[in-house]
Homo-oligomer: A and B are copies of this chain.
């Protein structure tokens, strides 16, 4: 599995094409992107649970699962959220312009937007640029991946080949996200493409499972977005079908892996972040609670600041686990490791070499391992440290 970019061009699965251009909404940066399948694709989606859903989220939600998706159009800079009736009209205009350029029905076009909430779209710039966008389609993901970024520093793409019983298929994932990241049953923007053939129901199941183990376990700041959505398109262009139980497990595992790499890339590229933090809670007898507690740690500003300062202030970890409701009996049995060093055991602090742990925290990845010795469930969540840069970025956004 090759994380991109830089290492190599990120190939799209067979029959998929993508492009990204600047249409003028933003000054110089690309702000309009298109993913297209040249045949009808199976499509599934997961969407923000926010009640303040953006217009494109409401549109796309109605269309999936489906066996006839042809494209996903995405603009950045303007979220088209909290924009009332005009927002719905503008989203439809964007979708219709895309359908016209491709030559398909508007109901075959999914849409997504990301950017500032509560401003009306510069829709004419978008519709007028559509023919050019369509003309620039290629078989690689890079230009699209760049066009959907906002405060992200790096584009996020991954691709991998999966050997199924009847041949090999490709899975390519693209995502964006850096702030307002605390997905709830959905994600920032995520696009998983494959040339495997599967049914809409299979696509839906696979996407739900992979999202729960990846995007739904990443947080930058605890703020759930109005525009979160993640899509899986499977166009069957490889000629290889998901046939056996093993095939299903293999492609599920590949898509989960791709999604986890993208989720980690998002946390690492969190606004102002200098470190990726991985929290693993093992030995729980209550998976929802373990997931909640792991995510709780990833949004604790006290813990995140301590990690930024490379300070092994593990009391803040314990405080948060307690606040999340991990039972006292489990807290008294638990072992806590920071960068592989044991810090807390059997209800009391363990004497540890503070200078050594400080040194280990100077890494760009921080591992917190908690074993509750109370069951067999494991939850893993990803986050990032909290720096002054985060505050700087978010005091000067609009």
Contacts and interface: CB of A to CB of B under 8 A. Distances in A.
Interface in A281-326: 299-303, 305-306, 308-309, 311-316, 318-323, 325-326
A201 interface: no
Nearest to A323: B224
Contact of A308 (B308, B322, B346, B395): B395
Interface in A29-79: 49-53, 79
Nearest to A313: B398
Contacts of A340: none
Contact of A117 (B85, B319, B331, B396): B319
A180 interface: yes
A328 B226 CA distance: 12
Given A51-B328, A301-B394, A391-B387, A83 B348 contact: yes
Interface in A231-283: none
Interface residues of A, number: 70
A319 B387 contact: no
Given A52-B323, A221-B302, A226 B318 contact: yes
A16 interface: no
Contact of A86 (B85, B224, B348): B348
Contacts of A53: 322, 328
A342 interface: no
Contacts of A299: 222
Contact of A318 (B118, B221, B312, B392): B118
A153 interface: no
Nearest to A348: B84
18 contacts: A52-B318, A52-B321, A52-B331, A53-B322, A84-B348, A221-B301, A222-B301, A223-B316, A224-B323, A225-B323, A226-B318, A301-B301, A305-B390, A305-B391, A306-B394, A309-B397, A311-B395, A390-B391
Chain A, interface SS category: loop
A7 to B, nearest CB: 32
Nearest to A307: B395
Looking at A116, A344, A346, A395, the one whose CB has the most chain B CB atoms below 10 A away is: A395
Given A52-B321, A184-B323, 19 more contacts: A50-B323, A52-B322, A82-B315, A84-B346, A84-B347, A86-B348, A117-B319, A119-B349, A180-B302, A222-B300, A224-B323, A301-B301, A302-B394, A305-B391, A306-B394, A306-B395, A309-B395, A311-B396, A390-B391
A79 B349 CA distance: 13
A303 B316 CA distance: 24
Contacts of A394: 301-302, 305-306, 309, 386
A359 interface: no
A81 interface: yes
A179 interface: yes
A388 interface: yes
A327 interface: yes
Interface in A81-113: 81-86
A324 to B, nearest CB: 8
